[in-house]
Amino acid sequence: MEASKTPHRHFMIYKPYGFLSQFKSHDSKQQSKNFLGSLYDFPEGIMAIGRLDEKSEGLLLLTTNGKMSDYVNSRKVEKEYYAQVDGAISAEAIEKLKTGVEIGFNGKKYQTKPCKTFALKEIPNLPTRSKKIRDERHGPAPWISVVLKEGKFRQVRKMTSAVGFPTLRLVRVRVGDIQIKNMQPGDVIEIPNLRSLLEEGRGGVS
Protein backbone atom coordinates (compact mmCIF):
# COMPACT_ATOMS: atom_id res chain seq x y z
CA MET A 1 0.00 0.00 0.00
CA GLU A 2 1.44 3.36 -1.04
CA ALA A 3 2.07 5.80 1.79
CA SER A 4 0.05 8.99 1.62
CA LYS A 5 1.93 12.09 0.54
CA THR A 6 2.47 14.93 2.96
CA PRO A 7 0.15 17.77 1.87
CA HIS A 8 1.87 20.82 0.48
CA ARG A 9 1.74 23.97 2.58
CA HIS A 10 1.56 27.59 1.50
CA PHE A 11 2.12 30.86 3.37
CA MET A 12 1.93 34.60 2.89
CA ILE A 13 4.32 36.80 4.83
CA TYR A 14 5.11 40.47 5.20
CA LYS A 15 8.83 40.47 4.48
CA PRO A 16 10.43 43.12 6.65
CA TYR A 17 12.99 45.63 5.41
CA GLY A 18 16.52 44.25 5.79
CA PHE A 19 15.61 40.56 5.34
CA LEU A 20 16.86 38.33 2.54
CA SER A 21 14.25 36.26 0.66
CA GLN A 22 15.87 33.02 1.78
CA PHE A 23 15.55 30.92 4.89
CA LYS A 24 19.14 30.38 6.00
CA SER A 25 22.68 30.45 4.66
CA HIS A 26 25.81 28.41 5.23
CA ASP A 27 27.91 31.25 3.84
CA SER A 28 29.97 32.71 6.68
CA LYS A 29 29.89 36.10 4.95
CA GLN A 30 26.11 36.21 5.41
CA GLN A 31 25.91 35.27 9.08
CA SER A 32 25.09 38.85 10.06
CA LYS A 33 22.13 38.96 7.64
CA ASN A 34 18.45 38.48 8.52
CA PHE A 35 16.71 35.40 7.10
CA LEU A 36 13.06 34.39 6.78
CA GLY A 37 13.67 31.27 8.84
CA SER A 38 13.88 33.43 11.97
CA LEU A 39 10.26 34.57 11.52
CA TYR A 40 8.50 31.18 11.75
CA ASP A 41 9.06 27.43 11.99
CA PHE A 42 8.53 26.77 8.28
CA PRO A 43 8.24 23.18 6.99
CA GLU A 44 11.08 21.46 5.19
CA GLY A 45 11.25 22.23 1.48
CA ILE A 46 9.72 25.71 1.75
CA MET A 47 10.61 28.16 -1.03
CA ALA A 48 9.73 31.73 -1.98
CA ILE A 49 7.56 32.31 -5.06
CA GLY A 50 9.57 35.13 -6.55
CA ARG A 51 11.77 37.28 -4.37
CA LEU A 52 12.04 40.72 -2.84
CA ASP A 53 15.47 42.26 -2.48
CA GLU A 54 16.90 42.97 0.95
CA LYS A 55 15.78 46.62 1.02
CA SER A 56 12.25 45.92 -0.28
CA GLU A 57 9.28 44.97 1.87
CA GLY A 58 5.84 43.50 1.70
CA LEU A 59 3.94 40.51 0.42
CA LEU A 60 5.93 37.36 -0.26
CA LEU A 61 4.29 34.01 -1.02
CA LEU A 62 5.91 30.77 0.12
CA THR A 63 5.21 27.16 -0.81
CA THR A 64 6.58 23.63 -0.47
CA ASN A 65 5.29 22.86 -3.98
CA GLY A 66 7.72 23.63 -6.80
CA LYS A 67 4.90 23.19 -9.33
CA MET A 68 2.96 25.96 -7.61
CA SER A 69 5.89 28.31 -7.96
CA ASP A 70 6.21 27.46 -11.67
CA TYR A 71 2.45 27.84 -12.10
CA VAL A 72 2.39 31.34 -10.64
CA ASN A 73 5.39 32.50 -12.65
CA SER A 74 4.18 30.98 -15.93
CA ARG A 75 0.69 32.51 -15.59
CA LYS A 76 2.17 36.01 -15.35
CA VAL A 77 0.18 36.83 -12.24
CA GLU A 78 -0.05 40.57 -11.49
CA LYS A 79 2.18 41.94 -8.75
CA GLU A 80 1.43 45.42 -7.42
CA TYR A 81 4.06 47.59 -5.77
CA TYR A 82 3.84 50.91 -3.99
CA ALA A 83 7.01 52.90 -4.64
CA GLN A 84 7.95 56.08 -2.83
CA VAL A 85 10.12 58.07 -5.21
CA ASP A 86 12.65 60.86 -4.85
CA GLY A 87 11.13 64.00 -6.35
CA ALA A 88 7.80 65.23 -7.71
CA ILE A 89 7.33 62.63 -10.42
CA SER A 90 5.86 64.06 -13.61
CA ALA A 91 2.96 62.79 -15.71
CA GLU A 92 5.47 62.33 -18.53
CA ALA A 93 7.64 60.06 -16.38
CA ILE A 94 4.61 57.99 -15.36
CA GLU A 95 3.62 57.63 -19.02
CA LYS A 96 7.11 56.34 -19.82
CA LEU A 97 6.81 53.75 -17.05
CA LYS A 98 3.47 52.65 -18.50
CA THR A 99 4.79 52.15 -22.02
CA GLY A 100 8.12 50.60 -21.02
CA VAL A 101 11.63 51.82 -20.31
CA GLU A 102 15.12 50.49 -20.94
CA ILE A 103 16.87 48.95 -17.94
CA GLY A 104 19.93 46.79 -17.42
CA PHE A 105 19.40 43.05 -16.88
CA ASN A 106 22.11 40.37 -16.80
CA GLY A 107 24.59 42.79 -18.33
CA LYS A 108 22.33 43.58 -21.28
CA LYS A 109 19.77 46.23 -22.15
CA TYR A 110 16.15 45.21 -21.57
CA GLN A 111 12.94 46.99 -22.56
CA THR A 112 10.28 46.54 -19.91
CA LYS A 113 6.81 45.50 -21.01
CA PRO A 114 3.84 47.90 -20.81
CA CYS A 115 2.37 48.03 -17.31
CA LYS A 116 -0.17 49.82 -15.16
CA THR A 117 1.30 52.81 -13.32
CA PHE A 118 -0.36 55.74 -11.59
CA ALA A 119 0.29 58.31 -8.87
CA LEU A 120 -1.32 57.61 -5.50
CA LYS A 121 -3.50 60.51 -4.38
CA GLU A 122 -2.90 59.79 -0.69
CA ILE A 123 0.00 58.42 1.31
CA PRO A 124 -0.66 54.66 1.67
CA ASN A 125 -1.41 53.30 5.12
CA LEU A 126 1.73 51.21 5.57
CA PRO A 127 3.74 50.29 8.67
CA THR A 128 6.63 52.62 9.45
CA ARG A 129 9.86 51.26 8.01
CA SER A 130 12.51 50.14 10.51
CA LYS A 131 15.10 52.36 8.82
CA LYS A 132 14.07 56.00 8.56
CA ILE A 133 13.47 57.50 5.12
CA ARG A 134 14.37 61.11 4.49
CA ASP A 135 11.52 63.53 5.10
CA GLU A 136 9.99 66.05 2.72
CA ARG A 137 12.19 68.88 3.99
CA HIS A 138 14.63 67.51 1.42
CA GLY A 139 12.06 67.63 -1.38
CA PRO A 140 8.84 65.83 -2.37
CA ALA A 141 8.70 62.05 -1.93
CA PRO A 142 5.36 60.96 -3.47
CA TRP A 143 4.04 57.43 -3.92
CA ILE A 144 3.15 55.63 -7.14
CA SER A 145 1.60 52.24 -7.90
CA VAL A 146 3.35 49.94 -10.39
CA VAL A 147 1.62 46.72 -11.50
CA LEU A 148 3.82 44.17 -13.28
CA LYS A 149 3.30 40.76 -14.84
CA GLU A 150 7.04 40.23 -15.18
CA GLY A 151 9.65 40.28 -12.46
CA LYS A 152 13.24 41.08 -13.37
CA PHE A 153 15.75 41.62 -10.56
CA ARG A 154 15.14 45.00 -8.86
CA GLN A 155 12.88 45.91 -11.79
CA VAL A 156 10.74 48.63 -10.17
CA ARG A 157 13.80 50.35 -8.72
CA LYS A 158 15.54 50.29 -12.09
CA MET A 159 12.43 51.56 -13.87
CA THR A 160 11.91 54.59 -11.63
CA SER A 161 15.62 55.44 -11.82
CA ALA A 162 15.44 55.21 -15.62
CA VAL A 163 12.89 58.05 -15.68
CA GLY A 164 14.83 60.16 -13.19
CA PHE A 165 13.03 59.40 -9.91
CA PRO A 166 14.91 56.83 -7.79
CA THR A 167 12.88 54.67 -5.41
CA LEU A 168 13.26 55.52 -1.72
CA ARG A 169 10.95 52.80 -0.39
CA LEU A 170 9.37 49.82 -2.14
CA VAL A 171 6.51 47.69 -0.80
CA ARG A 172 4.78 44.84 -2.64
CA VAL A 173 1.11 45.08 -1.67
CA ARG A 174 -0.58 42.50 -3.91
CA VAL A 175 0.04 39.26 -5.83
CA GLY A 176 -2.94 38.27 -7.96
CA ASP A 177 -5.95 38.81 -5.70
CA ILE A 178 -3.95 38.30 -2.50
CA GLN A 179 -3.43 41.61 -0.71
CA ILE A 180 -1.23 42.56 2.20
CA LYS A 181 -4.04 44.59 3.84
CA ASN A 182 -3.30 45.16 7.55
CA MET A 183 -0.36 42.77 7.91
CA GLN A 184 2.67 44.00 9.83
CA PRO A 185 6.36 43.32 9.08
CA GLY A 186 7.21 39.76 10.11
CA ASP A 187 3.60 38.51 10.08
CA VAL A 188 3.12 34.98 8.71
CA ILE A 189 -0.26 33.55 7.61
CA GLU A 190 -0.78 30.00 6.36
CA ILE A 191 -3.13 29.83 3.35
CA PRO A 192 -4.44 26.38 2.37
CA ASN A 193 -6.13 27.59 -0.83
CA LEU A 194 -3.29 29.50 -2.49
CA ARG A 195 -4.09 28.50 -6.06
CA SER A 196 -7.76 29.49 -5.89
CA LEU A 197 -6.84 32.82 -4.34
CA LEU A 198 -4.35 33.57 -7.12
CA GLU A 199 -6.19 32.45 -10.22
CA GLU A 200 -9.63 31.00 -9.65
CA GLY A 201 -10.59 28.13 -11.93
CA ARG A 202 -7.33 27.58 -13.82
CA GLY A 203 -6.46 24.30 -12.11
CA GLY A 204 -3.42 22.14 -12.77
CA VAL A 205 -1.70 22.25 -9.37
CA SER A 206 -2.71 20.90 -5.97
Instruction: List the catalytic residue out of 27, 41, 53, 177.
Output: 53
For the chain, where are the E strands, in sequence order? 10-15, 19-20, 34-35, 47-49, 57-63, 79-85, 102-105, 108-111, 116-119, 143-148, 167-175, 178-179, 188-190
53 annotated active-site? yes
Closest listed residue to residue 17, CA positions, set 41, 40, 34, 42: 34
Distances (CA, A) of 40 to 17, 33, 37, 144: 16, 16, 6, 31
Please give the Cα distance from 48 to 169 (Å, whole number): 21
Active site residues: 53
